[in-house]
Structure formats: structure tokens, C-alpha cells
Amino acid sequence: MSIEVKGVSKTFDTFKALDRVDLNIETGELLALLGPSGSGKTTLLRIIAGLEVADEGQILFHGEDTKERKVKDRQVGFVFQHYALFRHMTVFENIAFGLRVKPKHLRLSDAQIKEKVHGLLRLIQLDYIGERYPWQLSGGQRQRIALARALAVEPKVLLLDEPFGSLDAQVRKELRQWLRRFHDQLHITSLFVTHDQEEALEVADKIVVMNKGRLEQVGTPEEVYHKPANKFVLNFLGNVNFFHARVVDGKAYLGNAMIDLPDLHKNSKTASLFVRPHQFELTRQPKDGSSLKAVALTINPAGSVVKIDLKSEGGDTFQAEITQEEFQALRFQKGDTIYVSLRQVTYYEYEI
Amino acid sequence: MSQSRQEPTIIRRILITIALWYIGFFLVLPLMIVFASALHQGVGVYLSSLHDPMTLAAIRLTLLTAVVAVPLNLFFGIAASWAIVKFDFRGKNLLLTLIDLPLSVSPVISGLIYVLLFGAHGAWGPWLKAHGIQIIFTPAAIILTTLFVTFPLVARELIPMMKTLGNDEEEAAITLGAGGFKTFWYVTLPNIKWGLLYGVLLCNARAMGEFGAVSVVSGHIRGLTNTLPLHIEILYNEYQFTAAFAAASLLVFLALVTLVAKSLIELKFKAEQMPLLKGK
């Protein structure tokens, strides 16, 4: 089912949680709402579910206004950050709940419910814990049960609020890959809220970057990462180093180094440069006039890449990442002088 | 814990002895005297004094009061806690404060306000009289006063409990297609049942044992408006000690049953709550 969000606003007391938000979600998409806390992402999710009411604007399901539709009739599956499993019910009863509360003429027989619940338990690979209680399970298991419970009623949309937020790093990673595979099997329109950019980039088909109740950018993971629409998106998605450059006659300078920015305007006086850690090239000798002279402050070779904190002549500190192979070849040590070239830069220019 | 173990044995013993003597002297001994006085002329006299028609009438009225007051306050308690915990509305704090009012005001006042409302010279007195309705000095007044005195007891147990439980499970139930009633019945109620039972128990004990407030509105009409506590006082004032203590032993027995039930509930609740706390 497709979802259309049209001009939705929501204010809590004096806090503007959502400010005229427009968003289209295609059928079968797996979409991430990404943003810092307080950006309105959870509020948007809850409004789509009907758990909150928008002050203004509309939510359309398949082109149909949902205003008159109660939460229980919206056919949305909602997965809560803290699972919200029914604590006094077994896993089996938790999953069966949505089937059991259906009106009598729509309800499946006990045998059918049993079959369906076991089918779901197999789907989430937890067939052996049906008789246990939620408190006897690990966080990852609980979250999978919560998902199975939401899926039992065959919702048209699946909404997940920070689904991996309270799990530890290892389980998080496993579970999000599992969610991706899961979605590829079921193709149910899904939205999940996260503040973890890595999670959004890895799992989602499309990412909606939110900040202060507004949408900053909507795009594929590739688009938002490589073509950030603005500084906020750039900053929020992945580490990024910031430099403040002087501009003279259409050329940008960082200290003595001249940075080649092709389309600089003649009238610009300053420019903000954003460089991701992997977009630096580090050398022992200056390559040309564009190399920035810097000193290695710390070197951390543990991990898939080597992280080097540097301080430039001009006093800017920044972090660069090089591959283990490069590091083996160059053998930098703390305190070494390193020349830095910028392979790729995102910049914003100003006439002041 | 470890510190108390370092105390010299002698201090430990002295403290324990003081505590035990204190409880023995001020609690256990008086309770035993109630039963001893009730039975000191033999079981036959004890039973026959309970069989007195006036005593039986008092027992009936006490039971009637509890049977009306407890369910009503159970209903009110759930409604008030639900409103306070699940919704935001103006005057919520005022409601919270007002719920505690009957506990902070002297029972005599609780009785008096009904006299001032329904009495012959009260605010609504003339109107009631014109319509031939008598409230003060009837069982109706006793039930009303008891309702007032006991109405915080269930709500006060439930509110903190429901606050800790939060809203998540109810929201989950709604998204799964459950309506308001089914959500309450299958999700909320099982989660609050022990607190609810505890509140009902307290409410019942107070409803049966209330003296002050009820005394003001009762009029002490024998066989008609005397509850068990009021009846005991009358018997005592008339020097019918055996009968007074026989009736008193019923209330003491009720208190003991309440106490045991309360301990059982707490035990059961703890056993269930432990994993719940871990599960949060």
C-alpha cells in the first residue's frame, strides 16, 4: 500500500515536532526515517499509525484519507522500541493476540490460529520458544516476536520505531540484515525510524533525513550519502571534516595550499569545505601546491581502516582514513609531517 | 546488612527484645484480650450473643455497606487511575489531590459534610423533605459516607502502578485491532490485577471497620442504622462486655484475614513482578 503524507504539522505544547511535512511512500518500499532525537521522526511514524493525531494535514493510504479510520482499523503493524510484548502472555499468545481479538465472523478457528502462529514462529526462526514468557527471552528474540506479532494480522504497512535501538551492537547488526532479507521476502511497505545513519544506509531502499520537524532530503542511500542536499545531511550522514577557506579571484586557499574548486564564483570571499575521512590522500612529500602540510596527532590502526587525527599548519584538526595497505606502505608514526591532498570536496561559497 | 552483623550481639538482642515486647504489649495482648473477653463465659454465651437480632442486623448492614461501597469504588478507582495515567487534561493535578482528600480529613468531618448536605437543616434538606426522601439517619447515609471515606483506596494503589507500566502494551493492542474494552480486559487488567486486589482488600477492611464518619450520620437506631463498629460501642456503653467483645472479635477476625490475604498478595505480586522488572 502506498502512503502519502500531505502538509502534516504537529505541535506538543510549544514544541513544533512536525512542520508541514510532505512525503510519498511507494508500495513495497523499505524506508528509513533518519534524524537526531527531537527531529520528529517518531511523531511522524505515530501519526501514520494513528497513535497521534496531526494538528493539520492529511495521511492518505492508497489515495484514501485516513482521518476517519481508527487505529485498530488502519491495518498497520507497529513495532515498538521497547517491544511492548504483553508480559503476562506466552510468546504464542502474544502472536495470536491480533487474531483472537478479531470480531467473531472474521476470526479464524483455533486450529487455524495455531497453524498461523507456528508458521510465523518458523518464519522468525523461533519455533521452539512458543510457550515461554517475554521476560525469559533476549532482546533480539523479543524484537523478533514483536515483529511476528505485528505481522500476524497481515498489515498493509509495517511501522518500526527504533526497532534495534535497545539492542547491543552485535545483535543490532544481525537483526538489521535479517530485517532486510525479511523485507525482500514479504515486500510489505515498511517504515522504520532510526538515529543510526549506518543502519539507515545499510537497510533502507530510501532514506528520509529529518531535522527539527522538517524533511532535509529524501533519496536512496547513495544519493543522500554522496549528494547531500545541504550541510545538515552532509554532517549527519557519516563523519565529515570541515574547513574554512579563503577565496581570492575564484581560487580557494587553506593556509598556503591552493584547493582546486572548479566552479567557484569570482565574487566569493570565503567557502566552507566538507571532506569525508576517506576522501583525503596522505603522502610523505608534497604532491603539488594543493597539498596541505599537517602533523599526525594520533594514529589508530585497529579496524578495517586506519584512522589518523591530523593538525594542519593553519591549526585545523581533522580525521583521515587510509586503507591498511596504504598504511603498511607509508608507515606513518605519531608526530610525523604528512602532506594531505583532497580527492573530493563538497563546498558552499559565500560572498562575505 | 553487613553493618548490622558487625553490631555487638548484645545490642542486637536488646533491639529485638524491645521490638517484640512492644508489639506483644501493644498489639498482640489487646487482640488476645478481645478473644478472651468474648469467650470467657464460654462458647455458648459467645455464640448466643452473636445470635442477638440487633447484632445480626448490625452484621447485615456492615456487609451491605461493603457490598455496595467496594464495587463502586473499584469502578471509580479504575476509571480515575485510567484517566489520570492515560490522558492529559486540565485539572489533572487537582483531581489527584482531591482523591487524597478523604484520607487527610478527619472522619468526623467526612460524616458532617453529609449532614450539612442532606440533613433537615442542610443545603438539600428542605428539597429532600418536600419529596419525602430521608437520607441522614438511614442506611443510605451510612453507605454514602463509607463511599466517601474509602474512595481513595483503590485509586491510590493503581495510579503509581499504572504509571510504571506505561502505555506501550495498550498501544500495541490497539494497533493489533483490539478495541477499548478488549484492550482493557486482556492487556491492562491482567497487568494491574494484584494492585487492584490489594486496593479492594484495603477498601473492604475500611468499609467494614469505619467508625467516626459513620457514627455522625447513623443516628444509632438499633437494628436499622447501626453497623458493627457502632453496635460494639453501644454494647460496651451498656456494660454488655461479653456481647461487645463477641462482636469485636468478628472485626478482629476480619482484620486478621485481611492481613493474611494482603501478605499472600504481596508474595504473589513479588514473584510475578521480579521477572517483569527484569523484562523491562
- Residues A190-206: pLDDT tens digits? 999 999 888 999 999 99
Closest residue on chain A to B181 (Cα) = A101
Q: Nearest-CA distance from B186 to chain A in Å?
A: 9
B178 CB neighbours in chain A (<8 A) are 72, 97-98, 101
Neighbouring C-beta atoms of residue A186, cutoff 10 Å: 12
The full set of domain ranges for chain B reads 1-38, 42-279
CA–CA gap between residue B141 and residue B119 (Å, rounded): 10
Closest residue on chain A to B167 (Cα) = A84
Give chain A's mean pLDDT: 90
Quick check: B36 pLDDT over 50? yes
B187 CB neighbours in chain A (<8 A) are 86
Q: Which of A70, A90, A113, A135 to mutate to test the interface with B (most CBs of B within 10 A)?
A: A135
**Secondary structure of chain A as H, E, C letters:** CCEEEEEEEEEECCEEEEEEEEEEECCCCEEEEECCCCCCHHHHHHHHHCCCCCCEEEEEECCEECCCCCHHHCCEEEECCCCCCCCCCCHHHHHHHHHHCCCHHHCCCHHHHHHHHHHHHHHCCCHHHCCCCHHHCCHHHHHHHHHHHHHHCCCCEEEEECCCCCCCHHHHHHHHHHHHHHHHHHCCEEEEEECCHHHHHHHCCEEEEEECCEEEEEECHHHHHHCCCCHHHHHHCCCCEEEEEEEECCEEEECCEEECCCCCCCCCCEEEEEECHHHEEEECCCCCCCCEEEEEEEEECCCCEEEEEEEECCCCEEEEEEEHHHHHHHCCCCCCEEEEEECCCEEEEECC
Query: How much helix, strand and coil, in percent to the nearest 5, is found in chain B?
Result: 80, 0, 20
Q: Please compute the mean of the pLDDT values over residues A254-266 and round it to a whole number.
A: 82
- Cβ contact (<8 Å) for B175 and A86? no
**Which member of A71, A82, A102 has the closest CB to residue B175?**
A71
Query: What pLDDT is recorded for position B275?
Result: 52
Q: Please compute the mean of the pLDDT values over residues B20-30 and round it to a whole number.
A: 92
Q: Which region among A4-13, A33-42, A248-257, B137-146 has the lowest average model confidence (pLDDT)?
A: A248-257
- Cβ contact (<8 Å) for A101 and B174? no
Q: Strand A189-194 to strand A30-34: parallel, antiparallel, or no bridges (unpaired)?
A: parallel
Q: Does A49 touch chain B (CB under 8 A)?
A: yes
Query: What pLDDT is recorded for position B65?
Result: 93
CA–CA gap between residue A231 and residue A235 (Å, rounded): 6
Query: What pLDDT is recorded for position A208?
Result: 95
Query: What pLDDT is recorded for position B277?
Result: 46
pLDDT tens digits, residue range B110-125?
888 888 888 878 888 8
Q: Please compute the mean of the pLDDT values over residues A4-14 and round it to a whole number.
A: 92
Dig out the grid coordinates for B271 from the structure.
514473584
Dihedral sign from CA coordinates of A111, A117, A120, A122: negative
Which DSSP letter does residue B276 get?
A: H
Quick check: A260 pLDDT over 50? yes
Query: What pLDDT is recorded for position A168?
Result: 85
pLDDT tens digits, residue range A305-327?
999 999 998 888 999 999 999 99
Q: Say whether B55 sits in a helix, a strand or coil.
A: helix
Q: Does A35 touch chain B (CB under 8 A)?
A: no
Most confident region among A94-103, A178-187, B92-101 by mean pLDDT: A94-103
Q: Does A86 touch chain B (CB under 8 A)?
A: yes
Q: Does A51 touch chain B (CB under 8 A)?
A: yes
**Which member of B171, B173, B191 has the closest CB to residue A88?**
B191
Query: What pLDDT is recorded for position A67?
Result: 84
**Which member of B187, B190, B276 has the closest CB to residue A135?**
B276
Give percent of chain A above pLDDT 90.
Answer: 53
What confidence category does residue B273 fall into, taking pLDDT thresholds of 50, 70 and 90?
low
Q: Please compute the mean of the pLDDT values over residues B211-231 and round it to a whole number.
A: 88
Which CATH architecture fits B42-279? Orthogonal Bundle (1.10)
Q: Nearest-CA distance from A103 to chain B in Å?
A: 9
- Cβ contact (<8 Å) for A101 and B176? yes
Q: Does A163 touch chain B (CB under 8 A)?
A: no
Quick check: B280 pLDDT over 70? no
What confidence category does residue A92 fall into, taking pLDDT thresholds of 50, 70 and 90?
very high
C-beta of residue A86 within 8 angstroms of C-beta of residue A79:
no
In the chain, the amino acid numbered A279 is: Q
pLDDT tens digits, residue range A207-235?
999 999 999 999 999 999 888 888 899 88
Most confident region among A178-182, A346-350, B11-15, B218-222 by mean pLDDT: B11-15
Quick check: A162 pLDDT over 80? yes
Query: What pLDDT is recorded for position B3?
Result: 53
Query: What pLDDT is recorded for position A288?
Result: 80
Closest residue on chain B to A76 (Cα) = B175
pLDDT tens digits, residue range B154-166?
999 999 999 988 8
What confidence category does residue B4 fall into, taking pLDDT thresholds of 50, 70 and 90?
low
Query: What pLDDT is recorded for position A313?
Result: 86
Q: Nearest-CA distance from B205 to chain A in Å?
A: 29
B275 CB neighbours in chain A (<8 A) are 133, 135-136
What confidence category does residue A58 fall into, taking pLDDT thresholds of 50, 70 and 90?
very high
A133 CB neighbours in chain B (<8 A) are 275, 279
Q: Does A20 touch chain B (CB under 8 A)?
A: no
Closest residue on chain A to B274 (Cα) = A135
